[in-house]
Amino acid sequence: MRLNLGVIFGGKSVEHEISIISAVEAMANIDSNKYKVIPIYIDKNNDWYTGDHLKSILHYRDMDLVKRYAKKVSLVKRGKSFILESQGLLRRSLFVIDMVLPIGHGSFVEDGSLQGYLNMLGVPFVGSNVLASAIGQDKVIQKDLFKQNGIPVCDYVWFYDYEFEKNKKDVLEKIKSLSYPLYVKPASLGSSIGISVAKDEKELISGIKEAVKYDRKIIVEEKVKNVKETNISVLGNYEKQSVSEIEEINMEDGFYSFKEKYVEGYSKIKGKDKKEKSKPLISKEMIEDMKSYAIKTFKTVNASGVARVDFLIDDKNKKLYVNEINTIPGDLSSYLWMAKKMSQKELINNLIDLAVAEQTKKNDTIYAFSGNLLEHYDSLKGEKIKSSVNDNADIKKDTKKNK
- Does position 121 have pLDDT exceeding 60, yes or no? yes
pLDDT, tens digit (0-9, with 9 covering 90-100), for 40-54: 999 999 999 999 999
pLDDT, tens digit (0-9, with 9 covering 90-100), for 151-205: 999 999 999 999 999 999 999 999 999 999 999 999 987 656 789 999 999 999 9
Q: For residue 390, what pLDDT is reported?
A: 52
| Domains assigned to the chain | 3-126 (3.40.50.20), 155-222 (3.30.1490.20), 225-342 (3.30.470.20)
Q: For residue 312, what pLDDT is reported?
A: 94
pLDDT band at 280 (very low <50, low <70, confident <90, very high): low
Instruction: Average the pLDDT over each of 140-154, 290-304, 371-385 and give the range with the smallest value.
Output: 371-385
Q: For residue 368, what pLDDT is reported?
A: 73
Q: For residue 271, what pLDDT is reported?
A: 44
Q: For residue 188, what pLDDT is reported?
A: 86
**Above pLDDT 70, what percent of the chain?**
85
pLDDT, tens digit (0-9, with 9 covering 90-100), for 309-367: 999 999 888 899 999 999 999 999 999 999 899 999 999 999 999 999 998 888 877 77
pLDDT, tens digit (0-9, with 9 covering 90-100), for 250-278: 655 445 444 444 444 445 555 444 444 44
- The conformation of residue 380, written as its DSSP 8-state character, comes to T
Q: For residue 348, what pLDDT is reported?
A: 96
Crossing angle (nearest 10°) for helices 130-137 and 139-148:
100
- Does position 401 have pLDDT exceeding 60, yes or no? no
Q: For residue 190, what pLDDT is reported?
A: 63
pLDDT, tens digit (0-9, with 9 covering 90-100), for 25-35: 999 999 999 99
Q: For residue 172, what pLDDT is reported?
A: 97
- Does position 392 have pLDDT exceeding 70, yes or no? no
Q: For residue 259, what pLDDT is reported?
A: 47
pLDDT, tens digit (0-9, with 9 covering 90-100), for 290-312: 999 999 999 999 999 999 999 99
pLDDT, tens digit (0-9, with 9 covering 90-100), for 62-113: 988 899 999 999 999 999 999 999 998 888 999 999 999 999 998 889 999 9
